[in-house]
Amino acid sequence: MTEMIHRSKTRPVRVGNLTIGGSDELFIQSMTTTKTHDVEATVEEILRLEEAGCQIVRVACPDERAAYSIGEIKKRINIPLVVDIHFDYKLALIAIEQGADKIRINPGNIGRQAKVEAVVNAAKAKGIPIRIGVNAGSLEKKILEKYGYPTADGMVESALHHIKILEDLDFHDIIVSLKASDVNLAIEAYKKAAAAFDYPLHLGITESGTLFAGSIKSAAGLGTLLSAGIGNTMRVSLSADPVQEVKVARELLKIFGLSSNAATLISCPTCGRIEIDLISIANEVEEYISTIKAPLKVAVLGCAVNGPGEAREADIGIAGARGEGLLFMKGKTVRKVPEETMVEELKMEIDKLAEEYFEK
Ligand code: SF4
């Protein structure tokens, strides 16, 4: 099936220090919620996103003030910066000149050919890609008239229309997104796009909602695509602090074995055999490992009956026993630890394993 291998078969495109496409690697993207011209607030938010594991960040660029802030923002952050332009080619030119690592603009929306060429030539000169962002909610009139309403075929046709404009100018550093808030529509559109062209795909389910419902909706849509081998970058869109978007995205990538820089928690659902206050311990350990950048598996189990054996694949873990915990590694008990100190001891051992991982 074509789509099973799309991720690694895509054309590699450079975005800052990252190569998007051409491999199985998938990068987490998020978007700032600050006014981009407020450099202090924007940089502060981006640094928080970096800390959470965000690998590419997008900022809105609604006016010249925002466009002229790009250079200063770039100086103070460490991950590639994508600038979101809607129609105004002048803003695109300023953003490129200021050092944007990628711009999001649909060439078909720019207007006169001379303007399109100006943007494409500027992007070419700096070696930066252009993301074409197709959105089910804003398809071209012509396509809507043809299909009657937003369909996956219509979305792919729109993407191909914008792609052709760039290809005709011999520009191929293209990344495409096909967002819809309807999960089934987004899945179908991305699958059809993966069969239609080999440019890297940026995944997203747009307007997915609040932290709880939006995470589930994103997991359903993005998870289906990830498991089909589709997607080179991904954003989870939530009506929440964007740090939460990054956390949800990281969890999703971990599930599909696509994250090489995050620790995973395995915790039992608890039952009548429980011997420790597992839910609060699991939450504490989850928070603790959220900044660990090594692919460790950490288990927290309520009892020792099936405990260590149930989590054999865990690198390290604890299982509750009456008044104490059993610290185990790879399914084998290492030592007993008193209940009061077991979480602290677990954290110490996690740090040691993470250090060893990076020393390797
Ligand atoms: Fe129950 Fe123990 Fe299994 Fe947790 S590890 S679900 S407490 S048997």
**Of all atoms in ligand 1, which is nearest to the CA of residue 268?**
4
Pair 150, 179 in one domain:
yes
The average pLDDT across 116-125 equals 98
Q: Which of 278, 279, 301 to mutate to test the pocket of ligand 1 (most atoms within 8 A of CB)?
A: 301
Pair 67, 134 in one domain:
yes
Q: Is the pLDDT of residue 3 over 60?
A: no
CA of 23 to the centre of ligand 1 (A): 39
Give, rounded to a whole angstrom, the gap between the first and last alpha carbons of the chain. Answer: 37
pLDDT digits 0-9 by tens, 230-248: 999 999 999 999 999 999 9
Where among 255, 279, 302 does a domain terminate?
255
**Of all atoms in ligand 1, which is nearest to the CA of residue 319?**
5
Pair 186, 329 in one domain:
no
**Of all atoms in ligand 1, which is nearest to the CA of residue 274?**
7
pLDDT, mean over the chain: 93
Pair 161, 193 in one domain:
yes
| Most confident listed range (143-147, 305-309, 321-325) | 143-147
Q: CA–CA separation, 29 vs 236, rounded Å? A: 8
Pair 169, 277 in one domain:
no
Assign 189 to helix, strand or coil. helix
Q: Is the pLDDT of residue 109 over 50?
A: yes
Better-predicted residue by pLDDT, 259 or 90: 90
Where among 255, 284, 308 does a domain terminate?
255
Ramachandran angles phi, psi of 265, nearest 5°: -100, 135
Pair 250, 304 in one domain:
no
Question: What is the pairing mode between strands 324-329 and 316-321?
Answer: antiparallel
> Can you list the positions of beta strands (E) in 70-135?
81-84, 102-104, 130-135
Pair 207, 87 in one domain:
yes
Inter-helix orientation angle 342-359/278-289, to 10°: 30
Q: Which of 266, 267, 268 to mutate to test the pocket of ligand 1 (most atoms within 8 A of CB)?
A: 268
Assign 58 to helix, strand or coil. strand
On the CB side of 197, CA atoms within 13 Å amount to 22
pLDDT digits 0-9 by tens, 205-217: 988 789 999 999 9
Pair 138, 50 in one domain:
yes
Pair 341, 249 in one domain:
no
Q: In degrees, to the nearest 5, what angle opens at C-alpha 208 toward C-alphas 9 and 188?
A: 40
**Of all atoms in ligand 1, which is nearest to the CA of residue 307?**
5
Q: Which residues contact 325 (CB under 8 A, 6 or more apart)?
A: 276, 318, 319, 336, 337, 338, 339, 342, 346
pLDDT digits 0-9 by tens, 28-85: 999 999 999 999 999 999 999 999 999 999 999 999 999 999 999 999 999 999 999 9
> Can you list the positions of beta strands (E) in 76-201?
81-84, 102-104, 130-135, 174-179
Pair 222, 301 in one domain:
no
Q: Which residues contact 140 (CB under 8 A, 6 or more apart)?
A: 108, 158, 161
Number of structural domains in the chain: 2
The question of ipTM being above 0.85 is answered as: yes
Which letter does DSSP use for residue 54 in this model? Answer: -
Question: Token match 């990252």: residue?
Answer: 18
Pair 189, 94 in one domain:
yes
Q: Is the pLDDT of residue 2 over 80?
A: no
Pair 193, 306 in one domain:
no
Q: CA–CA separation, 154 vs 226, rounded Å? A: 22
The strand pairing partners of 56, in sequence order, are 29
Domain range for 352 is 264-359
> CATH number for the domain including 221?
3.20.20.20
CA of 350 to the centre of ligand 1 (A): 22
pLDDT for the residue numbered 309: 67
Residues in the ligand 1 pocket, defined by CB under 6 Å = 268-271, 273-274, 301-303, 305-307, 310
What CA dihedral angle connects 289, 290, 293 and 295, to 10 degrees? 60
Stated as kind and residue range, the H or E segment containing 187 is: helix 183-196
> CATH number for the domain including 338?
3.30.413.10
pLDDT for the residue numbered 308: 65
CA of 85 to the centre of ligand 1 (A): 52
Where among 255, 288, 320 does a domain terminate?
255
Q: Which residues contact 129 (CB under 8 A, 6 or more apart)?
A: 13, 14, 15, 20, 102, 123, 173, 174, 175
